[in-house]
Each structure stands twice: as structure tokens, then as C-alpha cells.
């Protein structure tokens, strides 16, 4: 040991200009008076006290003196079921600033002589001593009648040297670390108080840790804040981890936005691992779980509004209530187009309306649909885009077989490559069209079940029949060539690419004959007479109209809407 730590107590000099140490007789009288005050004549014996009251930090005990004593709640050895009225064995170890006795359940005695000191040293027992004065490098402590020991400042348990004199006159608990009695007149005794305090603190810490149970609600002070949570001191030397996910039912991006160092918080003990002494805390568990209410109030088909709080590869999470998120999957974002990433439809921070598709309380999962809230545009597509309807839209995509046109509300129509134009044969839509080009087309076919609409651009281009009809009128004489003959009519080409229908007179006469016979059987003879009187015209139509024949025809009907032309033989 360093000689500085164990000076010859007869040669040490005080640190201050204090008066000379009292003579042995006067000091013994003072020590006797001190012990008499502390023990009331019990000479350091254990006292039986009665518990008066208990609070979170201390226990008030009646020890039969004018002043009550204070026993800390974390004192080792206290019964778990201690309650007011119970008795407890204590020792007086000092006084508080308020004048109360400081109590301890550890029985500590002050040795009476060298024999007691030797037994305490060999057994490493804790003894009582009274600090008498500061000396160079530490304090002088009376450990027995007329026997003093040296307490090094480094082992006093005091961190600041300026506070060392405050121990003068106090009774302390210490342990003898050096005992040299070879010279009875000048014994070399060194004591240690810091080790005793550390043992007591460790015992108190263990006792406090043992009292903690899962489910308890505790108060603590935030010691440090990290990216993943905060460490909270819930008892002296005992920290618990408050993870960021257990701070609030709502999503917390940064723990520092909820707690700060030094803040006193209330939390619930979620888990205690007594092997590694780790404690998990939770603040949100002190408030109702919003999922409980959500599970009971939400059902499929309900419409909800919420804020998009997070985007993932497979969809978007929407906060529909504090702490309750629903997922809109990519498949539930659009009726008509394939969504490859949620950013194509929604952005973080957007407020959207959605429909609840499924609620799974056990899995804490809610499935939402965005497209269901917007309505399925294909439900009215058959009416809005009936065949013959002329539409207009931009070309959004092109393939080898055709081009896709945006018709609005997420609906696209397809123009087959053969329906783009009549003017020429198109090999690829890009030969005629370009992305973004606005085109007009006519609806040819609608299949709402398969979500397909077929369009035609060439249907809006004028045909040879359109041009012919616009340039002629009923009664005009035209030349034509018979290209087909049938029982009731003949097909006549009256211009390049323009065909007309010519009803045979025989078929017309037979129709008249049937109607006349039904109206007046007696007029049958007159009808036949009139027929033959005409020189057998009906018969001559069938005989004279032959395939490939060229002759004159008279226009008898024009129908522009259906591009229909009817003629009759002019001679």
C-alpha cells in the first residue's frame, strides 16, 4: 500500500487550521456521549422499529425515540410484504438533513477493542466508525475506544475533495483493509468506505431489480436517445429500453420527436430478461389499442379517407386512423391499366378515399381498394361507347397488331392495323401514327366483360359509295354492269367499287299478285291480263339481266347512312 494511504496517525497533521485533537479522555467522553445519543443506552444494539408509513422512496419507522427514522425502500433485506404496523429490526447509521435518523437493516457494530478490530479485519466485516477530523490525504476515523484509523480520500465515497469535510462528525460504515498492531501505541489501521457503499448500492440495485415485474407501470428519466429508441432510468442504476415502435401507436420516424434527455416519462414494463438484465418498456401500451376499435367498427365495403404515409414496391399504406394503416395493393389501384409502381397513381402525403376490402384483426391487417372508390368505368362502357359512336383520344401505346387510344377514365380502345386507313396497306401502326397523336375513330365492337373496345379510323374515311351518293339523286340514269343475279334481285356495279341492288320485275309482280289475290280473288284475271299486256316484262327482266351485261339503270333509292343504292332497269 502507498505510504500516503496509511500514515502514522500519531504524526499526521490536519489539512486546516483546526484546533489540536482532543485528549484521549475528552474524546472518549465525547464518543460515549455520541453513542448514548444514538443508542439511548442500548450501546449499538439492534432496535425494533414499527413501520409508520410507506411511500415510493422511503419507509418511516418509529424506533422509540423523540425523532422517527427513515429506511430507504431499496434497503437490502426488506420483506416484500412490508406494511404499516409491521415491526422491523434496524440500526441507526446517521441523520438526514431534516433531522430524522438514518436506518439500516444491516446490523453493524463498533468494535470495543483490538480484539474486535482483529475479528472484523479477518472476517472482512463492516464496522461503524465516527469521522473525527480531516487529515492530509483523507479523514481520521475513530473505530474503537481510543483507536483511530485512516480513511483515504479516494476510498471515502466522496467524489469532490471540497465535500470531504462534510463527513466530520458523522457515523459511517466501513471495512478494515489494513491492520498492523505490532506497535500498540501507534497502530496502523486503514479503512474503506467506498467499497461498502458500492456493495450497498449493488445490493439495493439488485433488490430494486427483483421488485420489478412485467406489466408494472413505472416512472423514469430519459437518459439517452438513439435512432432506435431511448434508454430510461427507472431505478438507480437500472435502465430500460423504450423502443421507437413502442413509443406511440402512430408511426414515429425519430425517437427525438417524442422524448428528450432528462424528460420524465411513464411507461409499462413489457418484458424482463433476468439473465442479461434487459428490460423492455412501452409508452403506447398505456393507451387503448386503436386496432381494437378499428376491428370492431370497420367492415368490408366501408368507405374511408386517409393519408398515404408510406410507399412500398407492392402498394401504398394509408393511415385511416391514428396507429391504424391499411394497404392498397397495386392490383387495387386501377381498373384498366397495369400499375407497376404505386408512384404512378399516388404519392406520400396524398389524402385518398378508399373502400375496405378485408379486415384481419389477428394479423392487424386491413386491405383497401382505391379503384373501388372511384367506380368501375367498364360498368357503363357498353352504353357510353356503343358501336357506331365516334370517339377521340390520344395514342398511348403501339404494338405490331395495332394502336391503343386513351378514351378517358382509364379505358383504352384498340385500333387494329387493318382499320387505320383505306388508302394503303399498313405494316405497323408507327408507319402512320405516333405516340401522343390525337385521332378520331368509330367504335366497332364493345366487350365489357373482357374489357375490350375495338375502334376503326378507316370507318370515318369517305368510301366510293359515299362519294357516288353525294353526287347523284333519285331518278338519275346511270350505266352499270351486272355482276351477280339471284332469284329476287341482281347486283349491279354502277361505278368503280360502287354496287347497287336491282330488284327483278318478276319478283315484284309476284309480290303484287299475292297481295291482290288475298284482297280480291275475282281480280286475278285482270291482274294476269295486265301482266301479259305489258309484253311479259317480268319474264324479260329475268331473261335480259345476265351476269356481265352492260345496260342503263335508273336510281330509285339512295340511303347515305347505310351506303345503300337501289336501281331498276331503264329499258
pLDDT reported for residue 183: 79
pLDDT at 223: 93
- Residue 4: its pLDDT value, please? 40
Cα–Cα distance for residue pair 467/497, rounded to 1 Å: 11
Query: Helix %, strand %, coil % for the chain, to 5?
Result: 25, 40, 35
pTM of the model: 0.47
The whole-number pLDDT of residue 76 equals 64
Domains of the chain: 3-46+107-199 (2.40.50.140), 212-286 (2.40.50.140), 299-372 (2.40.50.140), 377-460 (2.40.50.140), 464-569 (2.40.50.140)
The predicted pLDDT at position 190 comes to 96
How far is Cα 92 from Cα 538, in angstroms, rounded to an integer? 144
Positions in the chain short of pLDDT 50: 1-36, 38-45, 516-519, 521-540, 542
In the block, residue with C-alpha cell 423523540? 66
- Give the DSSP H or E segment for 553: strand 550-559
* Residue 272: partners with Cβ closer than 8 Å, 6 or more residues away: 212, 213, 214, 278, 279, 280
pLDDT, tens digit, 9 for 90 and up, residues 306-325: 999 989 999 999 998 888 88
The pLDDT score that the predictor gives to residue 470 is: 87
Using CA atoms of 295, 299, 300, 305 in order, give the dihedral in degrees to the nearest 10.
Answer: -80
What pLDDT sits at residue 103? 83
Paired sense of beta strands 550-559 and 303-312, if any:
unpaired
Q: What is the helix (H) or strand (E) element at residue 469, kind and residue range?
A: helix 464-471
| pLDDT in the model for residue 264 | 93
pLDDT given for residue 110 in this prediction: 67
| Cα dihedral value 478, 480, 485, 488, nearest 10 | 0
475 Rama class: left (phi>0) / alpha (psi -120 to 50) / beta: left
The pLDDT assigned to 394 comes to 92
Work out the angle at residue 433's Cα, subtended by the Cα atoms of residues 430 and 437, and round it to the nearest 5 degrees: 135
CB-based contact 139:170 (threshold 8 Å): no
292 contacts: CB under 8 Å, gap ≥ 6 = none
Amino acid at each position: 500500500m502507498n505510504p500516503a494511504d496509511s500514515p502514522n496517525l500519531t504524526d499526521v497533521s490536519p489539512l486546516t487550521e483546526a484546533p489540536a485533537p482532543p485528549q484521549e479522555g475528552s474524546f472518549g467522553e465525547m464518543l460515549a456521549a455520541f453513542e448514548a445519543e444514538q443508542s439511548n443506552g442500548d450501546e449499538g444494539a439492534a432496535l425494533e422499529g414499527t413501520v409508520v408509513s410507506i411511500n415510493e422512496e422511503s419507509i418511516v419507522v418509529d424506533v422509540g425515540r423523540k425523532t422517527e427514522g427513515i429506511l430507504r425502500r431499496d434497503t437490502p433485506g426488506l420483506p416484500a410484504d412490508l406494511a404499516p404496523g409491521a415491526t422491523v429490526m434496524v440500526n441507526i447509521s446517521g441523520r438526514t438533513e431534516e433531522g430524522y435518523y438514518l436506518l439500516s437493516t444491516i446490523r453493524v457494530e463498533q468494535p470495543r477493542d483490538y480484539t474486535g478490530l482483529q475479528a472484523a479485519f479477518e472476517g472482512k466485516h463492516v464496522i461503524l466508525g465516527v469521522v473525527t477530523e480531516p487529515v492530509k490525504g483523507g479523514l481520521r476515523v475513530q473505530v474503537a475506544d481510543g483507536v483511530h484509523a485512516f480513511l483515504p480520500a479516494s476510498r471515502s465515497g466522496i467524489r469532490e475533495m471540497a465535500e470531504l469535510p462534510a463527513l466530520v462528525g458523522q457515523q459511517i460504515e466501513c471495512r478494515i483493509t489494513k491492520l498492523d498492531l505490532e506497535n500498540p501505541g501507534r497502530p496502523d489501521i486503514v479503512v474503506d468506505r467506498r467499497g461498502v457503499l458500492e456493495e450497498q448500492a449493488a445490493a439495493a440495485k439488485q433488490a430494486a431489480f427483483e421488485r420489478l415485474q412485467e406489466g408494472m407501470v413505472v416512472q423514469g428519466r430519459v437518459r439517452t436517445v438513439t435512432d432506435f429508441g431511448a434508454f430510461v432510468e427507472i431505478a438507480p442504476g437500472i435502465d430500460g429500453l423504450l423502443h421507437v415502435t413502442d413509443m406511440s401507436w402512430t408511426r414515429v420516424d425519430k425517437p427525438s420527436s417524442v422524448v428528450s434527455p432528462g424528460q420524465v416519462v411513464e411507461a409499462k414494463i413489457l418484458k424482463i430478461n433476468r439473465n442479461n438484465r434487459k428490460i423492455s418498456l412501452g409508452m403506447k401500451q398505456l393507451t387503448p389499442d386503436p386496432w381494437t376499435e378499428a376491428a370492431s367498427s370497420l367492415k368490408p365495403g366501408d368507405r374511408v379517407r386517409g393519408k398515404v404515409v408510406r410507399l412500398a414496391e407492392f402498394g401504398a399504406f394509408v393511415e385511416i386512423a391514428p396507429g391504424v394503416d391499411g394497404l392498397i395493393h397495386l392490383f387495387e389501384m386501377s381498373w384498366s391499366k397495369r400499375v407497376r409502381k404505386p408512384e404512378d397513381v399516388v404519392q406520400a402525403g396524398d389524402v385518398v378515399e378508399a373502400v375496405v376490402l378485408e379486415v384481419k384483426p389477428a394479423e392487424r391487417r386491413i386491405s383497401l381498394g382505391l379503384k373501388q372508390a372511384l367506380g368501375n368505368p367498364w360498368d357503363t362502357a357498353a352504353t357510353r361507347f356503343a358501336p357506331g359512336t365516334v370517339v377521340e383520344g390520344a395514342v398511348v401505346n403501339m404494338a405490331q397488331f395495332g394502336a391503343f387510344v386513351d378514351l378517358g377514365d382509364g379505358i383504352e380502345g384498340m385500333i387494329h392495323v387493318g382499320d387505320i386507313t383505306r388508302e394503303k396497306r399498313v405494316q405497323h401502326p408507327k408507319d402512320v401514327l405516333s405516340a401522343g397523336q390525337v385521332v378520331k375513330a368509330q367504335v366497332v365492337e364493345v366487350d365489357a366483360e373482357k374489357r375490350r373496345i375495338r375502334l376503326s379510323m378507316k370507318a370515318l374515311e369517305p368510301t366510293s359509295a359515299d362519294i357516288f351518293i353525294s353526287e347523284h339523286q333519285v331518278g338519275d340514269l346511270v350505266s352499270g354492269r351486272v355482276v351477280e343475279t339471284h332469284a329476287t334481285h341482281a347486283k349491279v356495279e354502277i361505278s368503280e367499287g360502287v354496287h347497287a341492288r336491282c330488284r327483278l320485275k318478276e319478283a315484284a309482280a309476284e309480290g303484287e299478285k299475292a297481295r291482290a289475290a288475298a284482297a280480291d280473288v275475282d281480280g286475278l284475271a285482270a291482274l294476269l291480263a295486265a301482266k301479259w299486256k305489258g309484253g311479259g316484262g317480268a319474264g324479260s327482266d329475268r331473261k335480259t339481266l345476265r351476269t356481265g351485261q352492260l345496260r342503263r339503270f335508273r336510281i330509285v333509292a339512295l340511303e347515305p347512312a347505310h351506303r345503300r343504292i337501289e336501281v331498276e332497269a331503264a329499258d
